[in-house]
């Protein structure tokens, strides 16, 4: 009967191993740790397989650009994997609350020959041991708490990285718009320079202008052509950079949907003190630093508990069947008891481990304080940039308007023969510079609104009109 049950147990065990697919074993999550990973403002970007890469074939809005960057960029895949690693570590720590079962099953057959005598013998044995930790002075709880806090820190670090990718995508998006707008402004400047050259040639042929006027106009046109060619190169580089951020090759073609021009407003110009306070409540990197402190505190408890006694419940069952020269014998044993492990002396290893854990805790606290000060500086810098860019955009609008009137007047005076070619070319150069300054102010203002949102920890998908 014993042989039957042993064989049946072995057969069932082998069937389970062969029938259970490796994918099911890999996805098994008894402690439901995955729920702690797919959380936060960017949870929808966690599954790369669901990323709609084909949207690159249509006109991309800012929301599309950010969505592709968050779900298709390899950097985001890496940080999500880091959170899943820490979630698995949490499951490993929780498993200490379950008993452990182990036991060998062995079958040994032998044949001994002495002269003409041959003897066959066999030994079949199976045993199961169980061990369960009853008490270890809080070490097990501390290890679980340590893993939980490290998972919180990993998720917060992940969200910080995703916010960085988000902001980089937004900045690259506006950089591309700025580069393309620069191309357009240089094309306008090139057209204006051609008008000046045509006017200089017309006056030269009429005998009312000198060869120097015509040469000066030709030089100005050549310079605008050179500027336009360089701007086109910058636009191509900006497009390749944005494609790369979205997780594609730099050569991937795409088009951006047109966007309305913004107007400066003071809605985001809140008190700097409130912004800094909000940042210290919302910033994921500061949340990660706080979690690291709690993890270090738990690690200190676990390190101290490692040097204290532990109490375990142990039991075992073993069965064996031997047969030698046709004589069979069986044996069995059962055991159940409580085991107390007392670490009497470890060569001061535990003492130094405790000191190291205490020093690590102090280091985490100092890093948190440094980061809090750094966040205040980043908010201040982003706030000042927003104010500056808002005021610069207003001033740039006035500059373009006045430069446009000046250019028209200077060119009209030259065509009428009462102005110099130098005045016309200077006015055109000023107008081209004004257009460039407005382009820079326009998209710097757009990007600075997202930069301050990132600085205070409020950068999420709702800012671009989408929520996965």
Residue 335: exposure state from Cβ atoms within 10 A (0-12, 13-18, ≥19): exposed
Cβ-count burial 183-193 (b if 16+ within 10 Å, e if not): bebbbbbbebb
DSSP letter string, 110-139: EEEEETTEEEEEEEEEEEEEEEEEEE-TTH
Cβ count within 10 A of residue 214: 20
Assigned token pair, 44 = 């929808």
Report the first-to-last Cα separation within the chain, whole angstroms. Answer: 61
Cβ-count burial 440-463 (b if 16+ within 10 Å, e if not): bbbbbbbbbbbbbbbbbbbbbbeb
Is 339 a member of any domain? no
State the Cα angle at 175 between 173 and 177, rounded to 5°. Answer: 75
Helix, strand or coil, per DSSP, at residue 59: coil
The residue assigned the tokens 């081209």 is 432
**pTM above the 0.95 mark?**
no
pLDDT of residue 8: 38
Which H or E run includes 173? helix 139-206
Is 372 a member of any domain? yes
Is 87 a member of any domain? yes
Assigned token pair, 89 = 């570590």
Q: Strand 105-114 vs strand 117-135: parallel, antiparallel, or unpaired?
A: antiparallel
State the Cα angle at 175 between 173 and 178, rounded to 5°. Answer: 115
Cβ count within 10 A of residue 108: 10
Rounded distance between C-alpha atoms, residue 349 and residue 356, angstroms: 11
Query: Whose CA is closest to 187, among 399, 426, 439?
Result: 439
Is 438 a member of any domain? yes
- Contact status, residue 124 vs residue 303, Cβ threshold 8 Å: no
The residue assigned the tokens 């795409």 is 254
Residue 215 is part of a domain; what is its CATH number? Answer: 1.20.1600.10
Is 426 a member of any domain? yes
Phi, psi for 437 (deg, rounded to 5): -65, -35
Q: What is the pLDDT along the chain (468 residues), one digit of tens a residue?
A: 444 434 434 443 444 444 444 444 456 788 888 888 866 666 666 666 678 888 999 999 999 999 999 988 888 888 888 999 999 999 999 999 999 988 888 888 877 777 777 777 888 888 889 999 999 999 999 999 999 999 999 999 999 999 999 999 999 999 999 899 899 888 988 988 888 888 888 888 888 778 888 888 899 899 999 999 999 999 999 999 999 999 999 999 999 998 877 666 554 555 677 888 888 888 999 999 999 999 999 999 999 998 899 999 999 898 888 877 667 788 888 888 999 999 888 888 889 999 999 999 999 999 999 999 999 999 999 888 888 888 888 888 888 889 888 888 988 888 888 788 888 888 888 888 888 888 888 888 888 888 888 898 888 877 776 554
| Structural domain boundaries enclosing 162 | 31-98+138-307+351-464
Helix, strand or coil, per DSSP, at residue 249: coil
Instruction: Give strand pairing partners of 120.
Output: 111
Cβ count within 10 A of residue 154: 23
Assigned token pair, 463 = 């800012």
Is 274 a member of any domain? yes
The residue assigned the tokens 């300054």 is 437
Domain total for the chain?
Answer: 1
Is 246 a member of any domain? yes
pLDDT of residue 320: 87
pLDDT of residue 354: 92
Distances (CA, A) of 417 to 203, 207, 407, 427: 8, 11, 15, 16
Rounded distance between C-alpha atoms, residue 70 and residue 76, angstroms: 6
Rounded distance between C-alpha atoms, residue 322 and residue 198, angstroms: 112
pLDDT of residue 262: 67
Is 327 a member of any domain? no
């Amino acid at each position: 009967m014993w042989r039957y049950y042993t064989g049946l147990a072995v057969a069932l065990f082998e069937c389970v191993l062969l029938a259970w697919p490796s994918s099911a074993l890999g996805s098994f999550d008894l402690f439901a740790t995955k729920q702690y990973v797919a959380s936060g403002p960017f949870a929808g970007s966690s599954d790369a397989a669901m990323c709609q890469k084909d949207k690159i074939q249509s006109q991309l809005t800012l929301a599309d650009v950010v969505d592709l960057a968050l779900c298709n960029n390899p950097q985001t895949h890496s940080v999500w994997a880091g959170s899943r690693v820490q979630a698995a570590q949490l499951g490993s720590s929780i498993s200490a609350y379950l008993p452990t079962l182990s036991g060998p099953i062995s079958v040994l057959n032998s044949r001994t020959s002495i002269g003409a005598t041959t003897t066959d013998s066999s030994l079949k044995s199976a045993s199961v041991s169980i061990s369960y930790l009853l008490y270890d002075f809080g070490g097990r709880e501390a290890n679980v708490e340590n893993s939980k806090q490290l998972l919180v820190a990993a998720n917060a670090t992940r969200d910080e990285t995703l916010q960085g990718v988000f902001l980089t995508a937004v900045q690259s998006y506006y950089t591309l718009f700025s580069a393309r707008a620069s191309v357009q402004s240089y094309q306008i400047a090139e057209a204006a320079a051609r008008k000046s050259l045509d006017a200089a040639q017309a006056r030269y042929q009429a005998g009312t202008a000198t060869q120097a006027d015509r040469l000066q106009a030709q030089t100005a046109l050549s310079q605008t052509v050179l500027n336009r060619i360089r701007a086109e190169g910058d636009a191509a580089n900006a497009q390749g950079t944005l494609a790369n951020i979205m997780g594609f090759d730099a050569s991937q073609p795409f088009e951006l949907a047109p966007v309305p021009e913004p107007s400066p407003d003071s809605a985001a110009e809140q008190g700097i003190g409130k912004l800094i306070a909000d940042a210290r409540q919302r910033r994921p990197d500061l949340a990660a630093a706080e979690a690291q402190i709690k993890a270090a505190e738990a690690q200190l408890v676990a390190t101290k508990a490692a040097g204290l006694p532990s109490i375990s419940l142990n039991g075992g069952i073993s069965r064996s069947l031997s047969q030698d020269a046709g004589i069979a014998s069986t044996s069995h044993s059962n055991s159940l008891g409580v085991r107390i492990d007392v670490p009497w002396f470890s060569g001061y290893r535990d003492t130094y481990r405790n000191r190291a854990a205490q020093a690590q805790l102090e280091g985490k606290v100092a890093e948190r304080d440094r980061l809090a000060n750094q966040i205040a500086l980043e908010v201040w810098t982003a706030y000042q940039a927003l104010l500056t860019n808002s005021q610069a955009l207003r001033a740039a609008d006035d500059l373009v308007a006045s430069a446009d009137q000046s250019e028209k007047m200077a060119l009209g005076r030259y065509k009428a023969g009462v102005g110099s070619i130098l005045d016309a070319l200077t006015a055109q150069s000023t107008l081209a510079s004004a257009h460039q300054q407005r382009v820079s102010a326009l998209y710097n203002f757009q990007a600075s609104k997202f930069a301050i949102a990132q600085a205070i920890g409020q950068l999420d998908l709702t800012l671009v009109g989408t929520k996965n």
